[in-house]
Structure 1
Amino acid sequence: MAAVRPGSLITYQLSSVPLQMLFHLSGLYYALYFLATLLMIVYKSQVFSYPSNCLVLDLVLLLLMGIFEVAQLYLGTQGNLTEAEVPLAASLAFTAVSGLLSVHFLLWQTLVLWMDSVLSTVLLVLHGLEAGLQVVVIADFIR
């Protein structure tokens, strides 16, 4: 949707191209993250003495994180393209929840390997960039 600012003859889009590109990058990275984390959980359960209740908890949290990521990316993309604040705000909330789950896999997981730390840190950086851009875009849509 094109917008015209009062007193201006310039028409432009309010939707954010960098945010849209970040959503695509984040979606691709999360697919890699999900697969790598799942394989590492399987590896840790075979090589180390991984308590079964913690194994189930980590698998459930990984699947829950996947659901939040899909919802966050879908709502963020739709909110950005339709220039709607509500889906972007919901996406921002899902980003915060996914960030908290990323912290779990970075710090609080039963066994944290070096690769877990690297993958989770990169995911947290992407979530931070998304959250910052989402706040800016929501502020621009409201104006």
Structure 2
Amino acid sequence: MLFHLSGIYCALYFLATLLMIVYKSRVFSCPHSYLGLDLMLLSLMGPLEAARLHLGMKGNLTEAEVPLAASVALTVGIGLLSVYFLLWQTMVLWADWVLSTTLLALHGLEAALQVVVITAFVR
């Protein structure tokens, strides 16, 4: 259930972040090279998130530890990208802060539950 919620939220997160990057480029005077970096990292985050969700669902349904462990590893990488969008992107708006904090909380909950499930599968 949490993977489905995360999939829906991540799709909305990507759309909202993309629209905010466009907004920042139009309204504020930001160097376009920095906004290009933000776009590149956002486009990197999309396939990583899809792979993380796929491996997590596959590991959960087949009760396999390896896909779940790979999903946890991808969660750490995506968490670092979320921290970038929370703290270090070119301009952090209040909406960026709210969206990224919610995403980090959701990923933290998923990672904790995945570790619990992995330990249950190993036993």
Show the counterpart of 1:126.
106
Q: Which has the larger radius of gyration?
A: 1
Question: Does 1:102 find its partner at 2:82?
Answer: yes
Gaps of 5+ in 1: 1-20
Distance 1:123 1:70 in 2: 14
Distance 2:114 2:31 in 1: 39
SS in 2 for 1:110: coil
- RMSD of aligned residue pairs (Cα, Å): 0.5
Show the counterpart of 1:7.
none
Equivalent in 6, 11, 22 of residue 2 of structure 2: 22
Structure with a larger share of its residues in strand = 1
TM-score, reference length from structure 1: 0.85
SS in 1 for 2:92: coil
Show the counterpart of 2:31.
51
TM-score, reference length from structure 2: 0.99
Distance 2:30 2:122 in 1: 49
Q: Which amino acid aligns with 2:67?
A: P
Per-residue deviation, residues 50-98 of structure 1 (Å, max 9, x unmatched): 1111111000100111111000000000000000000000000011111
| % identical equivalent positions | 74
SS in 1 for 2:90: coil
